[in-house]
Structure 1
Amino acid sequence: MVGIRDVARKAGVSTSSVSLVINNSGYVSADMREKVERAMAELHYVPNALGRNLSQNRTGMVGVIVPTIQHPFFATLTSHIQRELAARGLKTMLCSTVDAETGETEYVDMLRRRTMDAIIMGAHTKHDPEYWSSIGRPVVAFDRRFGGTIPSVHSNHMEGGDFIADHLIPTGIRRLVMIGGPKGQFYDRENTAKTKISTFPTTRYYVRLAELLDEAGIAHDYVSAGEVSDFSGYEQAVERVLSDVAHGTGEFADADAIVSSDIGAALAVQKAASYGIAVPNRLQIVAYDGTFATKLAGREISAVHQDFAGIARGLVERVCALIDGEEANDELVPVTWQSAETTIL
């Protein structure tokens, strides 16, 4: 096996000079770098990444923790994160807390033992913000607010609520139904004033939309579809609402608009078609996220699109800054609106 000494002998330089070239550290003349790189190529020498990382007290590995990769949102986001990390020479260690039936503690322990360089935390956690701050190692939160020294990256969900209201209210809707995650996510923490708050920025678009509907005097309801990994919960919630609309009886009989995640919106479009409910003439449906799942309905759906590339870039930029010992602040990523023009009979 070819080693660093072989490269040094071939190039006619010291082993320390070869090390400087491999690690790209310290001053090396252009002539010496050329000699070393030529010797490496001729000897087919591959640097030992593990040894290099150990010498730099780094592993080149970043843990990405999400609830489940089965969900279109997290599948799309993790692919963008992995691409961003790879562009910076970093590997991704993916933890899906629901799919693996484990929490994030194992990965936090790995971070503490320095078997990874940082964590991007995007799953629900029962740990208090103080727990994350006490780790003392690079952690960046996605769509979560841990407070303290933990930077967070998330979409401008308030803007998302504005987009939906601006689209639906002028159409004269009378009653809107929102279908989303557990209602407990809206107020899952207390601040120092003992006021209930939420660590989930995503809930802001529901809250903002509800505020604007109240101002316009439009009735609205919230139906919980369960946890993000509970796809059957979305099916049941959509069936509950659409059945009432189709039969003209029940709690949601007069609903004329539905807002949900891509999965809920796609299911609502499909269910409306099976019931013969005209969309958007009788029932308007809006999706929130803008993943490939909006196309599963077989028709175009009006949607708020989150900028997955922008989110991933913001997360990875902050991870790299923290790894390098720099400070990192929160980032609010803009969302965009796409209106559907297709009428579904």
Structure 2
Amino acid sequence: MVTIKDVAREAGVSVATVSRVLNDTGYVGADTRKKVMDAIAELNYSPNEVARSLYKRESRLIGLLLPDITNPFFPQLARGVEDELSRSGFRLLLGNSDENVQKELDYIQTFVQNNVVGIISATNHLDYQIYNEMKLPLVLLDRTSEDYPAVYADGREGGRLAAKTLIDKGAKRITLVKGPAHIKPAQDRYKGAIEELSQADVDFSVLSTTSYSFEEAQGWAEELFGNFPDTDGVIASNDIVGIAIIHEALKLGKRIPEDLQIIGYDDIPQSKLSYPTLSTIRQPAYEMGREAARLLINIIKKEKGIDQTIEMPVELIERNTTRKE
């Protein structure tokens, strides 16, 4: 591993001079600066960001905490965060909690130990004391709280839009797949859908689930048709579950969308690759990530007059699991 001493030796200067060039502190002549930069390029030297931040008492590191990186929705969020941070000169440390409280707390401690200047969190355990004790700027992403700034999509409207679409397209026996109870956006979607279904002349049932995982999605699909075999419309808790329901319905010989209509949620890339392609409610995941990064940077810079809560719109994406008008 190349060190700052190797760069100094290659350039024929002192370690202190290399440090001044890296940190842009003190005077360094143009010729000497060029020697140092040439040595850095020749040796492919990458300075340790944490060490530099400790030296300068200034960090450019941001922590991002996600609940499940196997869910394609969250990498879209992360890419938006990373692109905006990179554009603004910050770097990203990523933690995946797997919805495990201890892993979440461990990652927060790791972020703090690595001298991050702010954290973006898309997890669900904000009631733990460590969040109050860390004294760092925190922005919630795809989550909401009265205590912290947040960027999220309008889940209630998303639930209403999914229900209204199935009702308008003639579904009469609708099953609503309710997302995990501990995830507030899932409950917002559920409430919105229930509001719409309750006012319509349809029969509807609710299937409660406890996760969004690939591993359990097939089980939810099997349970749905076991409990509600005559369902002709499904509002899935997310696209992963929606795609699993497509597969199970086809195994049972159901025609989609003639016998069964399905609407997912999120608009992950895979929803365009399923067969039939999945109609869904789109959350602007990439844009949400960018907005969360912008908000955190503004808070770090102590900008005044910024919105502390940003609610982003959702939209219906019609594909081939719903009937054409």
TM range (shorter): 0.7 to 0.9
Deviation at 1:341, TM superposition (A): 4.2
Q: Which moved more, 1:82-91 or 1:153-162?
A: 82-91
Q: Distance in 2 between matches of 1:203 and 1:152?
A: 17
2:146 maps to which residue?
147
Aligned to 1:167, what secondary structure does the other structure show?
A: helix
Name 1:132's counterpart in structure 2: 131
User: CA offsets per residue over residues 100-126 of structure 1, 9 Å max, x none?
Assistant: 884321233234446322221112216
CA positional deviation for 1:293? 2.7
Which residue in 1 is equivalent to 2:310? 331
Question: By how many angstroms is 1:22 displaced?
Answer: 5.0
CA distance in 2, matches of 1:132, 1:43: 43
Q: What SS does the corresponding residue of 1:313 show, helix, strand or coil?
A: helix
Q: Which residue of 2 aligns with 1:257?
A: 233
Conservation of the 8 A alpha-carbon contact between 1:58 and 1:116: no
Unaligned stretches of 5+ in structure 1? 186-198, 244-250
Query: 1:156 aligns to what?
Result: 154
The residue that corresponds to 2:221 in the other structure is: 238
When normalised by structure 1's length, the TM-score is 0.76
- Where 1:216 maps in the other structure, the secondary structure is coil
User: Cα RMSD between the aligned structures?
Assistant: 3.4
User: 1:214 is aligned with what amino acid?
Assistant: S
**Aligned equivalents of 2:72, 2:46: Cα separation in 1:** 38
> 1:77: how far off?
2.4
* 2: CA distance, partners of 1:208 / 1:155: 13
Residue 104 of structure 1 aligns to a residue in which SS?
helix
Q: Which runs of 5+ in 2 are unaligned?
A: 1-5
Among 172, 175, 184, which residue is 2:173 paired with? 175
Please name the residue that 1:189 is paired with.
none
Query: Which residue of 292, 302, 307 maps to 1:315?
Result: 292
Match of 1:116 in 2: 116
3-state SS of paired residue (1:297): coil
Q: Distance in 2 between matches of 1:285 and 1:155?
A: 21
CA distance in 2, matches of 1:320, 1:170: 43
Distance 2:176 2:316 in 1: 18
Q: Is the 8 A contact 2:263 2:321 kept in 1?
A: no
Q: Using the alignment, how far apart are the partners of 1:217 and 1:35 within structure 2? A: 80
Indicate the residue corresponding to 1:207 in structure 2: 191
| Other structure's SS at 2:276 match | coil
CA deviation string 1:135-190 (max 9, x = no partner) = 32121111222322x211111212312322332221222221122433x33xxxxx
Check if 1:267 corresponds to 2:244: yes
Is the 1:144–1:152 contact (alpha carbons within 8 Å) kept by the matching residues of 2? yes
- Find the residue that maps to 1:288 and give its secondary structure: strand
* SS of corresponding position for 2:199: helix
SS of 2:185's partner is coil
Relative to the length of structure 2, the TM-score reads 0.80
Q: Number of residues paired by the alignment?
A: 310
Rate the CA distance shift 1:307–1:181 in 2: closer, same or farther, 3 A: same
> Equivalent residue for 2:206?
222
> Aligned partner of 1:54: which letter?
L
Q: Deviations over 1:180-228 (max 9, x none)?
A: 433x33xxxxxxxxxxxxx713421221111011111323222123223
Matches within 5 A, 1:5-16: none
Sort the Cα spacing of 1:71 and 1:271 in 2 relative to 1 into closer, same or farther, 3 A: same
What are the within-5 Å matches in structure 2 for residues 12-27 of structure 1? 19=20, 23=23
Q: Letter of the aligned partner of 2:241 in structure 1?
A: G
Q: CA 1:163 to 1:317, structure 2 compared with 1: closer, same or farther past 3 Å?
A: same
Cα distance in 2, alignment partners of residues 102 and 265 from structure 1? 30
CA distance in 1, matches of 2:229, 2:59: 57
Q: Percent identity?
A: 23
How far 1:304 sits from its partner (Å)? Answer: 0.9
Change (3 A) 1:76 1:23: same
Decide which moves more: 100-109 or 315-324: 100-109
Checking the alignment, whether the CA contact within 8 Å between 1:210 and 1:220 is kept in structure 2 is no
